[in-house]
Structure 1
């Protein structure tokens, strides 16, 4: 759930409602300015909190989550943000042109998974292996790779380690791509089903004129 959007909606509803309560108390019930302001403040607060609880309930129902599950997911996504920032910082500090494209692709895939889970937290349960295994491996390798590649003097052993790390990051990029595809598996199945239905409908419609001509 987008916190900024939620607060914007709550504030957008609370301010007019607070003004309405103030006006109602001041003109309709002959309350003093300060008492009307007090009632308006209480009314706005009730609207703000009530709308927040309602929207949160709707969000959880839509994603088929309990509050406990949502807090668990939110906590892990917050921790993942820190790791992703460290990965991005490490990978983009490496001065190796040939591996730049692969590093950009890895960061893009990682960010896509994070963005998808932030928008639809229910998907998190299909990405647990990514968050609890693959992401940590990428972070550790990225930071070691960045550290070793920054050393001014490189011997044969160091060059070998750098090449091994680069190859391992390539393999992890493929694994992360599989993680993303696994998360989107149901969407792809649904899309393929819709395509098959659409093709069947088009084929059926194209056959109608021929049958009509045969009847004539």
Structure 2
């Protein structure tokens, strides 16, 4: 039994003790049995529920989207976007940025994921593609599969892989799940490579060139997208 489970059991027993204590206390003041039990349960399990809520890990808050700068707004307008289009585009790309940062964090937590990402040049590709979309907002419709299917799927798959991989005791079934997950992640990374090639089809003659082009872009512009203006 791990420490967390042990603590939960102690709190459950404490809640039961509280129920009994409150019932006897109220009966000592001539309160009827039924109301005493109801009040006891309410108090005891109210405390237990409060404890369990406090044990839940806090979700990371998404970074608030900063107001668009005048320069950036003019750029979007020059690309034919309306004010509604600008709002939608910025919210979409802010969500994509959060997913990319989550993917990078996940990959850095597992050697297997690092190997897959390096083989497919995944982190460089998704960051360069992110930058390209930001610079060509009028082409948002061309990357709907990347933004709404492949990127969120990769974020979800890598998050689940890391969660399972962190289990202290792993059965054969666990290793099988990890292996199948790794294969699916590899396939998703390959799909993202195709997304990048498709978006940059005028610059890339074949799939082999995409690695060199993306690496040159990352080397020139830097790999950090966290502070990129949207």
After TM superposition, the score normalised by the length of structure 1 is 0.57
Residue 87 of structure 2 corresponds to residue 71 of structure 1: yes
Match of 2:178 in 1: 162
Measure, in 1, the Cα distance between the counterparts of 2:102 and 2:137: 22
1:148 counterpart residue number: 164
Instruction: State the secondary structure of the residue aligned to 2:125.
Output: helix
Runs of 5+ in structure 1 lacking a partner? 8-51, 190-216
Q: Structure 2 vs 1, CA of residues 188 and 121 (structure 1 numbering), >3 Å: closer, same or farther?
A: same
CA displacement 1:25-49 (0-9 Å, x = unmatched):
xxxxxxxxxxxxxxxxxxxxxxxxx
Q: 1:117-164 CA deviation, whole Å, 9 max, x = no partner?
A: 122222322111111111111011000100111112111100011111
Give the structure 2 partner of residue 131 of structure 1: 147
The root-mean-square deviation of aligned C-alpha atoms, in Å, is 2.6
**Which of 109, 112, 117 is the matching residue for 1:93?**
109
**Total equivalences in the alignment:** 138
Which of 124, 130, 134 is the aligned partner of 1:118? 134
Deviation (angstroms), 1:176: 0.3
Aligned counterparts of 2:87 and 2:108: Cα–Cα separation in 1? 32
SS of the counterpart of 1:127?
A: helix
TM-aligned CA distance change 1:122 to 1:188, over 3 Å = farther
Q: If you compute each CA radius of gyration, which structure gives the higher value, 1 or 2?
A: 1
Between the aligned partners of 2:128 and 2:134, the Cα distance in structure 1 is: 10
- Please give the TM-score of this superposition, normalised by the length of structure 2: 0.53
**Tell me, which stretches of 5 or more residues in structure 2 are unaligned?**
1-65, 206-230
Relative to total residues, which structure has the larger helix share, 1 or 2? 1
